[in-house]
């Protein structure tokens, strides 16, 4: 039996945050051993919101791919490439646009939300409306069986299934499989100020932060504001440091909780422990990144080679699609 195929992508928006590592990347790394994996830098998707200033996309792509490799994505195992290097994505997207009712796109829940959230940009564009359709083209171009994504992307995978069904119905075929979303359980991490982690709040931890930066950020983390002296009993459930202990110090977290509630540990010491655990986890990634940063040519070559491999599959799909549609002589 042929190995099942996994496809996923990320928009190149800069260095990845800790949440991207835990929520998606770690999962991708594991999937590499079980599936034929294809991972794409979704630069066309980034263009839907950065069309007014795409100049950063190049460097963002470089940084994101370095993050991917530092976390353990392996070009020997998986196909890693840039969406815009394989023109068939645009071609299949265009074909899909012929038969996709506008109402399907308008009712995608992320659509109106995003327009609201990014009000400073004009997203009342044709391209932004087509965002989920482009994603459907990404996935179906490789006839992927599974798509590892976070909860927020589920409507897009659902749309992909509808597009596959519509194509199969219109052209009386079963060519496109309906892909499954592989949901990643997200261990939710707050930002260092306790609010939602977000670039716009300036409270993020990047997966590429140095051990010194990690220490500095942990030391800035907000703790239980009710604790003045270190002998005051604390409430770990309102503490950001504790939220991180839960994820990065699973063995010690019970001890931390007990000591905090009994006022037997000071926040300074508690943070010190967290720094140790966080760095044990991130330092190997950081070290790998340092090496890769000096190997930009290698990254460029790897993306070129990935595009070649992706293209082989993509061209084959498009030949069959054109034959099914009966479009060309
Ligand atoms: N829309 C996805 C996101 O913002 C990125 C993406 C683009 C993607 N193409 C994809 C995800 C194909 C899965 C499959 O996270
Ligand atoms: Fe938070 Fe630790 Fe201080 Fe308790 S002891 S409030 S868990 S930093």
- Give the model confidence (pLDDT) of 234-271 as tens digits: 999 999 999 999 999 999 999 999 999 999 999 999 99
DSSP 213: H
- Rounded to the nearest whole angstrom, what is the distance from the C-alpha of residue 151 to the centroid of ligand 1? 12
Predicted confidence at residue 65, as pLDDT, reads: 98
Domain with CATH 1.10.240.10 in the chain: 209-289
Distances (CA, A) of 105 to 47, 109, 114, 155, 174: 18, 9, 13, 10, 23
Cβ < 6 Å from ligand 1: which residues? 7-11, 42, 45, 135, 138-139, 147, 149, 153
pLDDT given at position 199: 87
Distance 76 CA to ligand 2 centre (A): 43
CB-based burial, 189-216: b 16+ in 10 Å, e otherwise = bbbbebeebeeeeebbbbbbbeeeebbe
Dist. CA 163–CA 153, nearest whole Å: 16
What number does the ligand 1 atom closest to the CA of 42 have? Answer: 7
Q: What is the pLDDT of residue 57?
A: 97
CATH 3.40.50.620 residue ranges in the chain? 5-188+296-325
Provide mean pLDDT across the span 142-158.
95
The structure tokens listed for 73 are 């994505």
With contact defined as beta carbons under 8 Å apart, do 194 and 222 qualify? yes
* Per-residue pLDDT at 309: 98
Ligand 2 pocket residue status of 88, Cβ below 6 Å: no
Ligand 2 pocket residue status of 236, Cβ below 6 Å: yes
8 CB within 6 A, ligand 2: no
Fold assignment, 209-289: Tyrosyl-Transfer RNA Synthetase (1.10.240)
pLDDT tens for 78-97 read: 999 999 999 999 999 999 99
- 187 pLDDT more than 90: no
Q: In this structure, which residue's CA is closest to atom 5 in ligand 2?
A: 267
Tell me the two tokens of residue 300.
Answer: 């460029």
Range 14-28 average pLDDT: 93
| Topology adopted by domain 5-188+296-325 | Rossmann fold (3.40.50)
Distance 204 CA to ligand 1 centre (A): 22
Per-residue confidence band for 23, with pLDDT thresholds at 50, 70 and 90 = confident
- Categorize the per-residue pLDDT at 1 as very low, low, confident or very high, splitting at 50, 70 and 90: low
Q: Whose CA is nearest to atom 10 of ligand 1?
A: 9
% of the chain beyond a pLDDT of 90: 89
- Residue 266: predicted pLDDT: 95
> Residue 149 — φ and ψ, nearest 5°?
-150, 165
């Amino acid at each position: 039996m042929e190995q099942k195929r996994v496809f996923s992508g990320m928009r190149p928006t800069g260095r990845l945050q800790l949440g991207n590592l835990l929520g998606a990347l770690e999962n991708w790394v594991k999937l590499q051993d079980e599936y034929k994996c294809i991972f794409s830098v979704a630069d066309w998707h980034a263009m839907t919101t950065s069309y007014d200033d795409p100049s950063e996309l190049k460097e963002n792509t470089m940084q994101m791919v370095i993050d991917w490799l530092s976390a353990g994505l392996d070009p020997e195992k998986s196909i890693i490439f840039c969406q815009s290097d394989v023109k068939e994505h645009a071609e299949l997207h265009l074909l899909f646009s012929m038969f996709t009712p506008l109402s399907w796109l308008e009712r995608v829940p992320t659509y109106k939300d995003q327009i609201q959230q990014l009000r400073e940009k004009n997203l009342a564009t044709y391209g932004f409306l087509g965002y989920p359709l482009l994603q459907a083209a990404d996935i179906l171009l490789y006839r992927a069986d599974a798509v590892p994504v976070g909860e927020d992307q589920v409507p897009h995978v659902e749309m992909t299934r509808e597009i596959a069904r519509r194509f199969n119905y219109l052209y009386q075929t079963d060519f496109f499989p309906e892909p499954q979303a592989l949901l990643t359980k997200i261990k939710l991490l707050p930002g260092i100020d306790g609010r939602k982690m977000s670039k716009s709040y300036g409270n993020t931890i990047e997966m590429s932060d140095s051990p010194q930066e990690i220490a500095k950020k942990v030391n800035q983390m907000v703790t239980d504001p009710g604790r003045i002296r270190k002998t005051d009993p604390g409430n770990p459930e309102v503490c950001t440091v504790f939220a991180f202990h839960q994820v990065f110090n699973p063995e010690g977290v019970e001890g931390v909780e007990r000591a905090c509630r009994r006022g037997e540990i000071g926040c300074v010491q508690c943070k010190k422990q967290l720094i140790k655990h966080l760095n044990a986890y991130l330092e190997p990634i950081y070290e790998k990144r340092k090496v890769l940063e000096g190997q930009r040519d290698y990254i460029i070559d790897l993306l070129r080679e990935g595009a070649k491999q992706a293209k082989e599959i993509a061209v084959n799909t498009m030949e069959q699609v054109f034959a099914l549609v009966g479009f060309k002589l």
